[in-house]
């Protein structure tokens, strides 16, 4: 029998790559989509299967992490062997503006799903494994390099909520002897990255500037350092974490950090532009409390899971720039109007 997985956040960056990976491995994939007045499935359109297709292996359900009744219903319908909880209000800056919703979807949302799973296992006797999408943001102000033993020091409502979700996951693992694992993933990016995260904001601007659609790029703190990897590599880590013989917590990272400034250098120079001619600092993008330096030590995942990232920093930046140069060229052909860069 092939396995079945349930993914919350299937319409997000990671959800789309994870779906591709699991489908390629023969899984049936169930995904939770939240209701929106406009389509929010662009990242999974290429793997979407119409409900009228018999034997389809990608099945979408309307539900929301803020609604336990719906979560319970989906769990009972999908009967997954593995649950990947990727759904979240995942933007750190936005979490300062919407802290309560962030806590509801990220922290309490995880608790809701864990509790549904606990009841489901108790009533059915089925074996279900749970992956919790933890974040390097949980380390926040802790001194780099960070590993699985580094104490958390969260610096935003988002990070505090992820720490709560982490400990809910640990508590449910210990209290009810469930297979629940936390992935502590450092930043991972791709051409599918949301456009308000700094890497994609930069590569979108590079493409648009090159195409003559944008003049300026407004950014915040250029000195922040992040351990940036490729999302396609990181979903492999998620899967391996759930295939491990026992539930545990693992870091996924490259072990190499770069500043936003270095990302700018790499991205603009790839198309022979000098970023200093286009970038302006706008305090709008500063955070009330910043995370200065994240650098992960991925030794445990390498040793115990045999996982290592394949894509280098330069390959990642170039992949994103090349993709956004193509996208901007398409945009230019459809509507050659300049965008208001400050709105992003």
Residues between 35 and 54 that touch ligand NAP (CB under 6 A): 36, 40
Residues between 118 and 137 that touch ligand NAP (CB under 6 A): 133, 135
Residue 105 and residue 68: Cα distance in Å, rounded?
11
User: Residue 136 in 3-state DSSP?
Assistant: helix
**Of 28-36, 212-220, 289-297, 330-338, which part binds ligand NAP (CB under 6 A)?**
28-36
One residue of 40, 196, 276, 312 binding ligand G4F per CB under 6 A = 196
Residue placing its CB nearer to ligand G4F in the complex, 4 or 90: 90
Binding of residue 198 to ligand G4F (CB under 6 A): yes
Active site members = 135, 137, 158
User: Residue 189 in 3-state DSSP?
Assistant: strand
**Of 85-93, 110-118, 164-172, 204-212, which part binds ligand G4F (CB under 6 A)?**
85-93
Q: Please report, for residues 28, 188, 233, 310, 328, the alpha-carbon distance to residue 243 in angstroms, rounded to integers and kept in the order given.
A: 16, 21, 16, 20, 40
Binding of residue 245 to ligand NAP (CB under 6 A): no
Residue 42 and residue 184: Cα distance in Å, rounded?
26
Residue 199 and residue 193: Cα distance in Å, rounded?
8
Binding of residue 57 to ligand G4F (CB under 6 A): no
| Residue 224 beta carbon to ligand G4F: minimum distance, rounded to whole angstroms | 3
Q: Please report, for residues 140, 172, 201, 226, 314, the alpha-carbon distance to residue 311 in angstroms, rounded to integers and kept in the order given.
A: 25, 34, 20, 15, 8
**Running DSSP on this structure, what letter comes out for residue 338?**
P
Counting Cα atoms < 13 Å in the Cβ hemisphere of 81 gives: 11
End-to-end CA distance of the chain: 46
15 binds, options ligand G4F, ligand NAP, none, Cβ within 5 to 8 A by partner type: ligand NAP
Residues in contact with ligand G4F, shown as a per-residue x/- string from 122 to 161 under the rule CB under 6 A:
-------------xxx------------------------
Binding of residue 22 to ligand G4F (CB under 6 A): no
Where along the sequence are the contacts to ligand G4F (CB under 6 A)?
Answer: 90, 92-93, 135-137, 186-187, 196-199, 201, 219-221, 224, 226, 260, 285, 287, 290-291, 294
């Amino acid at each position: 029998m092939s396995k079945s997985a349930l993914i919350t956040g299937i319409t997000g960056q990671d959800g789309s790559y994870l779906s591709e990976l699991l489908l390629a491995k023969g899984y049936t994939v169930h995904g939770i989509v939240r209701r929106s007045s406009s389509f929010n499935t662009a990242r999974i359109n290429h793997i979407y299967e119409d409900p009228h297709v018999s034997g389809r292996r990608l099945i979408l359900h309307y539900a929301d992490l803020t609604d336990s009744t719906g979560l319970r219903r989906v769990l009972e319908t999908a009967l997954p062997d593995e649950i990947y909880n990727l759904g979240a209000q995942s933007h750190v800056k936005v979490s300062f503006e919407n802290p309560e919703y962030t806590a509801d979807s990220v922290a309490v949302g995880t608790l809701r799903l864990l509790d549904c799973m606990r009841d489901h296992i108790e009533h059915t006797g089925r074996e279900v494994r749970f992956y919790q999408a933890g974040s390097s943001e949980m380390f926040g102000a802790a001194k780099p390099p960070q590993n699985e033993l580094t104490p958390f020091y969260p610096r935003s409502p988002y990070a505090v909520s992820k720490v709560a979700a982490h400990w809910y996951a640990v508590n449910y693992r210990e209290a009810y002897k469930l297979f629940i694992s936390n992935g502590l993933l450092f930043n991972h990016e791709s051409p599918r990255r949301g456009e308000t995260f700094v890497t994609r904001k930069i590569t979108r601007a590079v493409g648009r500037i090159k195409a003559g659609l944008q003049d300026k790029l407004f950014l915040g703190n250029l000195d922040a350092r992040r351990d940036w990897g490729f999302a396609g590599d990181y979903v492999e880590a998620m899967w391996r974490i759930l295939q491990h013989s026992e539930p545990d917590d693992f870091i996924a990272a490259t072990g190499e950090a770069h500043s936003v400034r270095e990302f700018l250098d790499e991205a603009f120079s790839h198309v022979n532009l000098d970023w200093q001619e286009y970038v302006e600092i706008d305090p709008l993008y500063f955070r009330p409390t910043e995370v200065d330096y994240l650098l992960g030590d991925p030794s445990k995942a390498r040793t115990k899971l045999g996982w290592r990232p394949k894509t280098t920093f330069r390959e990642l930046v170039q992949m994103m720039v090349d993709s956004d140069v193509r996208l901007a060229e398409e945009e230019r052909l459809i509507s050659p109007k300049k965008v208001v860069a400050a709105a992003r």
